[in-house]
Chain A
Amino acid sequence: MTSRDSASPILRVRGLTKTYRRRKWIGSAGDEVRALRGVDLDLCAGKTIAIVGASGGGKSTLARCVAGLEPATSGEIFFRDQKLGKPGDARHHIQMIFQDSGASLNPRFSVAQALLEPLAIRQERNLNTSERLRQVGLPETLASQGTSQLSGGQKARLALARALAALGESGAAVLILDESLASLDLSVQAQMINLLVDLQEKRGLAYLLIAHDLRLAAHLADEIAVLFEGQIVERGAPHRLFAAPAHPHTAYLLKTLAAPDGSSRA
């Protein structure tokens, strides 16, 4: 059982800013787009922070910068009090799962080969496929199947297994879920939620969840941060935030769909 030191955050983000230029096709200077304007975050082991906001507000950009897939224009990211230099420095400790899990799988690979891929960054030879599959609730018999034959739910689980493989067995780690559950069916999503909750309890993983589904965010997160036009305009515990939203954008996002008992109809 890993100890969960909730006193000091394992991931700290300070003043993260990302600006880029959108060029027209030929020659012109382009407009400046400020996707992120000084975002701060503190994430402790075993906890979940959900970033919510309307599309285009910068959620995915934030995820990519923290994951080390893109360099930020300015700002600092600290993992366990060590500042991250170039993107990709913390690959062993920070991993990301994308919305379209199938897109990151090589269709020519078998499931076992797909699991081998991320292990390359750790130079590990020990595949231990059956254990890894069991961890995410996939049957061992799946190891020899081609990745293109998997269902949506199976692909999502495999993506999780790959991320866990890259993160290694021990130590604190951060998993970034960029709308990873958005394209899943309800019953599959429910199973994935249970899996994620179990993994978090067992290994003390920290989750950074990017979601547009407010109910999912409220369900999973210890803290919700509302991202609007590149800035975090409100943050707090879910029930407090939703009982009394302070910022108009939060209130806008709260106009969610009815509970399935039909208690609020059009």
Chain B
Amino acid sequence: MLLDALEPLLCVDDLRAGYRVGSSVVSVLRAVSFEIQPGQVVALLGESGGGKSTAILAMLGLLPHGSALEGSARFQGLELIGAPEETLQKIRGACISYIPQEPLLSLNPVIRAIDQVAMVARAHERIGIRESRQRARVALQQAGLDESQLHNSYAHQLSGGQRQRVVIAQAIVNRPSLVIADEPAGALDAPSAQEILSLLRGLVQKMGASLLLITHDPCAASYIADRVMVMYAGRIVEQGPANDILRSPLHPYTRGLLRSVLNPPGASSSDRHVAAIEGSPPDFRQLPNGCTFHPRCPDRMLICADTAPPLTSLASHQTCCFLYDQPR
């Protein structure tokens, strides 16, 4: 039905989360709102400590015990925030799958690759060991790990790229509707990174699923994403179609981030200095008043220091910045 096609796969509204530190709670996510449509590839772009992984863990109910969590995240109409653990267990790995960072650490060191994938299959469906191994084999092959010799290997026997493929196989074996990949190209050299990103996009397209790519690298985002969301200090400061964001960024942080990307080899310049964003990444325990980016912003105005900027929308391109706030 047409109406179903317009219904977003994931709708996050005003998501707020914080970690318990000692006796107080440090707020990390502040009013995060976004949507993912079926079949879309969306990149969540931001630097480490910016809250990206926190947003995902919050949605999946995997925050540490005692964390604060408020707001809404509706997946195919089902509310995830506050849902009972049994419901979330059924969703994790089957409807929404998460590919964590650092495959070497995310793989069990004492279980063979194929069994690790098979266990994920068995976690969601009552099938026998042989059947689950068969499905695991298929998933591993789809992830690009063809030789069955590798299937029987342990994590430390595989190369970085191979481990990444095992983790991907775990994520796709149950054919989820949403795949969340956290820095999938992080530890790899450039050609392997490209391969993995293309693989992810291809797999997701074949399954008719959506992909949420978490990355700190604008190039990775530009390579496969349809939409980009830029996160800074736990808030989405800009979001829109990938081309718009990457070619004509609005928010000063996005602009600064894109300027920090080094020129591709071949573009020679005598000055080796890079246009860097000044200042240090934000400390969540002591966030600045008003716009959290203003201490580092080259275009800051007086109002930025005491008022948080509202959301401004220009077509499907949104940003939170006073530079674009329409005068009343």
CB of A229, distance to nearest CB on chain B (Å): 15
Is there contact, CB below 8 Å, between B260 and A258? no
In the assembled complex, the Cα of A215 lies from the Cα of B242 at a distance in Å of 22
**Is A185 a contact partner of B48 (Cβ separation < 8 A)?**
yes
* Contact of A152 (CB < 8 Å), options: B48, B246, B274: B48
Task: Give Cα distance in the complex from A117 to B198, angstroms.
Answer: 46
Q: Does B262 belong to the interface (CB within 8 Å)?
A: yes
Chain B residues with CB under 8 Å of A220's CB are: 272
Tell me the smallest distance from the CB of A73 to a CB of chain B, in Å. Answer: 25
B interface, size bucket? 35 or more
Indicate with 1 or 0, residue by residue over A251-266, a CB within 8 angstroms of chain B CB atoms. 0111111111110111
How far, in angstroms, from A220 to B263 measured CA to CA in the complex? 11
Bound: A212/B159 CA distance, A: 16
Over the window 29-62 of chain A, the binary record of Cβ atoms lying under 8 Å from chain B Cβ atoms (1 yes, 0 no) is: 0000000000000000000000000111000000
Residue on A nearest B47 in the bound complex, by CB: A185
State which of A88-96, A164-172, A235-243 sits at the interface with chain B: A235-243
Whether A16 is near chain B, meaning CB under 8 Å from some CB there, is no
Contact check, A218 vs B265: say whether CB atoms are below 8 A apart: yes
- Pick from A187, A193, A254: contact of B265, CB below 8 A: A254
Assess whether A113 is interfacial by the CB under 8 Å rule: no
Contact A260 B258 (CB under 8 A): yes
CB of B261 within 8 A of CB of A260, answer yes
Given known contacts A215-B265, A262-B243, A266-B198, is B193 in contact with A187 (CB within 8 Å)? no
Interface residues of A in 189-227 (CB under 8 A from B): 189-191, 193-194, 197, 212-220
Q: B163 at interface (Cβ–Cβ under 8 A)?
A: no
Given that A243-B266, A256-B190, A260-B222 are known contacts, is A187 also in contact with B260, CB under 8 Å in the complex? yes
Chain A residue numbers with a CB within 8 Å of B259 are 190
Is there contact, CB below 8 Å, between B260 and A219? no
Interface membership of chain B positions 252-280, coded 1 if the CB is closer than 8 angstroms to chain A and 0 otherwise: 00001111111111101000111111101
In this assembly, does A102 line the interface, its C-beta being within 8 Å of a C-beta of chain B? no
Is A185 within 8 A of B272, CB to CB?
Answer: no
In the complex, the answer to whether A186 meets B224 with C-beta atoms within 8 Å is no
Whether the pair B216, A185 counts as a contact (CB closer than 8 A) is yes
A241 CA to B49 CA, complexed, in Å: 37
- Known contacts: A151-B49, A259-B264. The answer to whether A213 contacts B190 by CB under 8 A is yes
Contact B160 A55 (CB under 8 A): yes
A260 to B273, Cβ gap below 8 A? no
Closest residue of chain B to A56 (Cβ to Cβ) is: B159
Choose among A54, A55, A216 the residue that contacts B262 (Cβ–Cβ < 8 A).
Answer: A216
Distance in angstroms between the alpha carbons of A254 and B264 in the assembled complex: 10
Chain A residue total in the interface (Cβ 8 A)? 45
**B contact residues around A185 at 8 Å (CB):** 47-48, 216, 281
CB-based contact A256/B264 at 8 Å: yes
Q: Are A266 and B223 in contact (CB under 8 A)?
A: yes
Residues on B with beta carbons closer than 8 Å to the beta carbon of A151: 49, 280-281
Q: Is B190 in contact with A214, judged by CB distance below 8 angstroms?
A: yes
Q: Could you give, for residues 14-30 of chain A, a 1 whenever the CB lies within 8 Å of some chain B CB and a 0 otherwise?
A: 00000000000000000
Chain B CB within 8 A of A101 CB: no
Within the complex, which residue of A191, A216, A239 is in contact with B266, where a contact is CB–CB below 8 Å?
A239
B190/A262 in contact, CB under 8 A: no
Q: Does residue A154 face the partner (Cβ distance < 8 Å to B)?
A: yes
Q: Is A230 an interface residue (CB 8 A)?
A: no
Within residues 141 to 155 of chain A, which ones have a CB less than 8 A from any CB in chain B? 151-154
Asked whether any CB of chain B lies closer than 8 Å to the CB of A69, the reply is no
Instruction: Quote the shortest CB–CB distance from B260 to chain A (angstroms).
Output: 4
Indicate with 1 or 0, residue by residue over B44-87, a CB within 8 angstroms of chain A CB atoms.
00011100000000000000000000000000000000000000
Tell which of A154, A186, A212 touches B189, judged by Cβ atoms closer than 8 Å. Answer: A212
In the complex, B194 has a CB within 8 A of chain A: yes
Assess the B47–A214 pair: CB atoms within 8 A.
no
Q: Are B262 and A219 in contact (CB under 8 A)?
A: yes
Q: How far is the CA of A252 from the CA of B246 in the complex (A)?
A: 26
What would 15 A/B residue contacts be, using CB atoms closer than 8 Å? A54-B189, A187-B47, A190-B274, A194-B276, A217-B265, A218-B262, A238-B268, A241-B265, A242-B266, A255-B191, A256-B190, A258-B223, A259-B264, A260-B261, A262-B222
6 closest A-B pairs by beta carbon, nearest first, are A190-B276, A218-B265, A185-B47, A242-B265, A257-B219, A190-B260
Known pairs A190-B276, A193-B272, A219-B274 / 13 extra A-B pairs, C-beta < 8 Å: A54-B189, A151-B281, A186-B218, A190-B277, A214-B265, A217-B265, A238-B265, A256-B191, A256-B194, A257-B193, A257-B217, A260-B261, A262-B246
